[in-house]
Structure 1
Amino acid sequence: MDWIYSNSDPLLQTLGGSILIFIAVIVLTRIIGLRSFAKFTAYDFAFTIAIGSIISSTLTSSTSIAHGSVAIGGLLVLTFIFSYLQRKFPWINKLISNKPLLLMKGDTILEENLKYARIDKSQLIAKLREANVLNYDQVRAVVLESTGDISVLHVSEGSSEDLNEKILEGVREKP
């Protein structure tokens, strides 16, 4: 029965710690900015996962709230510094970020790009269904974003709108 509940479980400490960590994350995010939890690059995603891990270990282990808050603050400051350096030095952005990759150009599936990105055609088609694409001729472009997300740019059935090429700025057509 101890695996469900034990009298020695620090439930009130965990609840109090949750409140304090929640406040610390809000304060730090307000200071550093919302960019802290954006998912623009792989490292942004890694930082978000790391912060979640720190919160978890702070609340469920002997790590103090102050120690956990400092660790979270340190990671958030690093994301702030990296985002500043990316804007100031474009080569850093190129070094740590993947450029988006075109998976479909119009109604044509770019098989070589799918292969390079290790995406199965069935996964691409599932994304088309999620975007409510009824026919390939509705598709203007499908892009594998630098975050790993797949964007489907399409028009409603019967519409003949053209895609503004600026939307695909920075997207690689070849791997």
Structure 2
Amino acid sequence: MATTPEVLYQSLFAFVVLFILARIMGKRQVAQLNFFDYIAGITIGNIAASWSLDEIRDLHAIIALLIWTALSLIMSWLQRKSHRARLLIDGRPTVLIRNGNVLDGNLKKAKLDIDEMMLLLRTKNAFKLADVEFAILETNGTLNVMRKSDVEPLTPKAAGIPVLSEREPRVLIVDGNVMEQSLDRSGYTKEWLYGEILKQGAKRFEDVFLAQVDSNGSLYVDLYSDPQKEPQVKEKPLQAASLKKIQADLENFALETKNPEAKALYTTCSQQLQEVIEKVGPYLKG
């Protein structure tokens, strides 16, 4: 039976050996973890398993577990605090493809063959080497790929097409309850929300399990039960809700524009429409 000093010495020695072996084995990806962290975790688990099977003494198991855990935490701290420590522990990223050319020497250093590199490329939807301008193997084993410009998907920016900026989608109804604060922040009213859920088959807010609005004003509605037939939507509440939506949109436009003249115009139109809504509102109920 090993003595306590022997367990201390053996744990320290095994930790160093395991680190060296992990560096030698290279940057193979293991569930997005640093490879050494992965095998250190396995080792800690094996110590705990041996302890639970009474293969080692309690004191020795506790010492070994504490040492492995402490050393792993120390290495993690060093990685965060020191650039040199990160280079020593993790190494450097390895360029596998540069200017469309596969770097054979770097491929060997990374201990990858062509088939493994192609597999990593396919995970990035890069099936043709001819389409790849640059590829780099990160220190955690993931491969990042930059495609050649002429095979990149055409974006609105590249085509010079102006698009509206996206904003955070907001959940407006959960379990039949209207999220008042979220509704206020989205710039819409309860009347608008009620009109929108009527269009999608709900008769009241309590019929809605979930509702979410995107930055374009499109409302996704999930009902507790799918309607079996087309709902009989009342036209008057819908018209009132539509007017409220237009009025809310005008207010949003006034807040978002930086043009003083446009801001004043949107504000005036919103106020005038609000007056119209107050006058015709009683006729659009029920």
Q: Distance in 2 between the 1:130 and 1:63 partners?
A: 44
Is residue 2:86 matched to residue 1:93?
yes
Aligned partner of 2:123 in structure 1 is 130
Q: What percentage of residue pairs aligned between the two structures are identical?
A: 26
Aligned partner of 1:39 in structure 2 is 33
Unaligned 5+ runs, structure 2: 1-31, 156-286
Contact 1:102 1:144 in 2 (8 A): yes
How far has the Cα of 1:142 moved from its partner?
A: 2.5
How far has the Cα of 1:79 moved from its partner?
A: 1.7
How far has the Cα of 1:137 moved from its partner?
A: 4.6
How far has the Cα of 1:99 moved from its partner?
A: 0.7
Q: CA RMSD in A?
A: 3.4
How far has the Cα of 1:151 moved from its partner?
A: 1.1
Q: Distance in 2 between the 1:61 and 1:138 partners?
A: 57
Aligned partner of 2:61 in structure 1 is 68
Contact 1:103 1:109 in 2 (8 A): yes
Larger relative contact order (CA 8 Å, sep ≥ 6)? 1
Is residue 2:143 matched to residue 1:159?
no
Q: Distance in 2 between the 1:121 and 1:59 partners?
A: 44
Structure whose CA Rg is larger: 2
How far has the Cα of 1:49 moved from its partner?
A: 2.7
The aligned length equals 123
- CA shift digits 1:44-95 (9 cap, x unpaired): 2342232122123223343356653543233222222222233333333333
For 1:1-175, list aligned pairs within 5 A. Answer: 39-40=33-34, 42-63=35-56, 67-105=60-98, 107-147=100-140, 149-154=141-146, 158-159=152-153
Q: Distance in 1 between the 2:145 and 2:119 partners?
A: 14
Q: Distance in 2 between the 1:89 and 1:134 partners?
A: 38
Q: Distance in 2 between the 1:131 and 1:61 partners?
A: 47
For the residue of structure 1 that corresponds to 2:134, the secondary structure is strand
Q: Distance in 1 between the 2:58 and 2:131 partners?
A: 52
- Which letter maps to 1:54? I
Q: TM-score, normalised by structure 2?
A: 0.35
Unaligned 5+ runs, structure 1: 1-37, 162-175
Q: Distance in 1 between the 2:68 and 2:44 partners?
A: 7
Relative to 1, partners in 2 of residues 1:54 and 1:129: Cα closer, same or farther, differing over 3 Å?
Answer: same
Relative to 1, partners in 2 of residues 1:89 and 1:154: Cα closer, same or farther, differing over 3 Å?
Answer: closer
User: Greater shift after overlay, 88-97 or 98-107?
Assistant: 88-97
Contact 2:94 2:138 in 1 (8 A): yes
